[in-house]
Amino acid sequence: MLATIRILRESGFIFTCRDDLPGEGWDAMLPTIYQVSEINRYIKGKLEGDDFLRNLGVQGEISNFKHHSSGHMYFTLKDEESTLRCVMFRSQNRNLSFTPRNGLQVIALGSIGVYARDGVYQFYVEAMEPAGVGSLHLAFEELKKKLAGEGLFAPERKKTLPLLPRRVGVITSPTGAAIRDIITVSRRRFANVDLIVAPVLVQGDRAPAQMVAALEALARVPGVDVIIIGRGGGSWEELWPFNDEKLARAIAACPVPVITAVGHETDFTIVDFVADVRAPTPSAAAELAVPDKAELHQRLQSLAARSYQGIRTIIAQERKNLSALGRRRPFTAPEIFFNEKRLLLDGYARNLERAMTQCLGQWRSRLSLQAGRLDTLSPLAVLERGYSIVFAEDGRIVKRAGEVSRGEKIRVKLARGQLGCRIEEVKEGETGV
């Protein structure tokens, strides 16, 4: 005989009991009653103990992103069919190399766990990077290190932006929001500044070559004093053309100052490091390149007022100086001034004459002393004492008797006059008179 099944509905539970079970009644069939927290802890233990749910890599699109004031990040990863609730604590997300945002495809690494309080399971993210750009990030860092080593990022090689450019070159997509923002801001700030737009692709494989050609062409246009190159926001892959090495070198070699405005404020590309100025957005780039006409007018008025006041101050001071000069004695009593100067000049003349007389006396004394010394050493003084000088016929001075012979003519010089003589006798070796 088939067992009878009874269905009881009590307190929202459905219990079944078989009457043909010997020795067992309804009480034997009642389930064990648990607290909600016990159930959640049980499920948490089951999930977190499953090896498959640990060290997972999950790819999806970020949505409902929130960076809490505590530093933790809360978001959802989704694909076309489902969503996964995620949390990334502050200790893990502070090492991220990018800024997560809604719509960004990422690869997240972590484990599935249960938040027992709410009874929900979620993905605890320990590491995360943009999907498909791991190799791109590596290439980015390698190129950045290479160009930095060559000095292309050095501050001293960066050019200064002109105060008031005649023309501003713009390299960007002709259909994007960036060109509209640049035109709007430029016209608002200074409508007289010309904009020369070089339309190019800003994403894709052909974009770098087009931007290099546009940069070189704009640099040759007369009057282009600054160039803006950039685009609006996008994914890492969409911004990749601005990490091209040829484009970076073309910007570094450009003779005209270059402003980059690529993506949003948090986006950095290689060209941002090479450019002379990096702007966070295209609108900000236009504000850097084009001065505000009203501000310039106000500055000119302020400078004119300061110059006028400065000139008035100088004139007033010089008038005071002239008035003070007019009160001095040379102007109020010129005859007294000149008489004083004459007296001073006479005193100088007397001092000079006295000094010259004293100096001449000293030189006369020195000259007399030297003349006396010369007289003492002079041969003429020797002759005055009775000595004479004997000259041979050939003009030689005769010093010894053996230098002449008997009968030879000689000439004797005295202190006054000369004598012509002939040698009668020669005695050598005798010194007496």
**pLDDT confidence band for 51 (50 / 70 / 90):** confident
pLDDT value at residue 138: 66
Side by side, the strands of the sheet bearing 224-231 are: 194-199, 167-172, 224-231, 258-262, 277-278
Mean pLDDT of 28-40: 74
pLDDT of 81 over the 80 cut: yes
**pLDDT confidence band for 269 (50 / 70 / 90):** very high
pLDDT value at residue 77: 94
Burial of 363 (0-12, 13-18, 19+ CB in 10 A): exposed
Mean pLDDT of 120-129: 90
Residue extents of the structural domains in the chain = 5-33, 53-131, 146-291, 328-377, 383-422
- The number of CA neighbours under 13 Å toward the Cβ of 21 is 11
Q: What DSSP character marks residue 398?
A: P
Q: Which three-class secondary structure state does DSSP give residue 66? A: strand
The CATH number corresponding to 53-131 among 2.40.50.140, 2.60.40.10, 2.40.10.10, 3.40.50.2300 equals 2.40.50.140
pLDDT value at residue 15: 42
CA angle 240, 241, 243 (to 5 degrees): 70
**pLDDT confidence band for 431 (50 / 70 / 90):** low
Looking at every residue in the chain, the average pLDDT score rounds to 85
pLDDT value at residue 133: 59
**pLDDT confidence band for 2 (50 / 70 / 90):** very low
pLDDT digits (tens, 9 = 90+) for 131-183: 765 567 767 888 999 999 999 999 999 999 999 999 999 999 999 899 999 99
pLDDT of 236 over the 90 cut: no
Burial of 397 (0-12, 13-18, 19+ CB in 10 A): exposed
pLDDT value at residue 6: 41
* Distance separating alpha carbons of residues 249 and 295, to the nearest angstrom: 35
- Which is more confidently placed, 219 or 96? 219
pLDDT value at residue 27: 52
Q: Which three-class secondary structure state does DSSP give residue 390? A: strand
pLDDT of 29 over the 80 cut: no
pLDDT digits (tens, 9 = 90+) for 390-410: 888 888 988 888 888 888 888
Q: Which three-class secondary structure state does DSSP give residue 58? A: strand
- Top CATH class, 146-291: alpha beta
Q: Measured between alpha carbons, how far is residue 430 from residues 188, 341, 382, 407 in Å? A: 129, 80, 22, 20
Please report, to the nearest 10 degrees, the dihedral formed by the alpha carbons of residues 277, 278, 280, 283 taken in order: 50
pLDDT value at residue 28: 52
pLDDT of 3 over the 50 cut: no
Residues 6 or more apart in contact with residue 251 via CB below 8 angstroms: 215, 229, 258, 260, 271, 274, 275
Q: Assign residue 122 a region (left: φ > 0; alpha: ψ between -120 and 50; beta: otherwise).
A: beta
Q: What is the pTM of this model?
A: 0.48
pLDDT of 4 over the 90 cut: no
Mean pLDDT of 48-74: 88
pLDDT of 279 over the 90 cut: yes
pLDDT digits (tens, 9 = 90+) for 354-391: 999 999 989 998 988 888 787 777 777 777 777 888 88
Q: What is the DSSP string of 228-270?
A: EEEE----TTTTGGGG-HHHHHHHHH-SS-EEEEESSTT---H
The letter for the amino acid at 10 is E
pLDDT of 35 over the 50 cut: yes
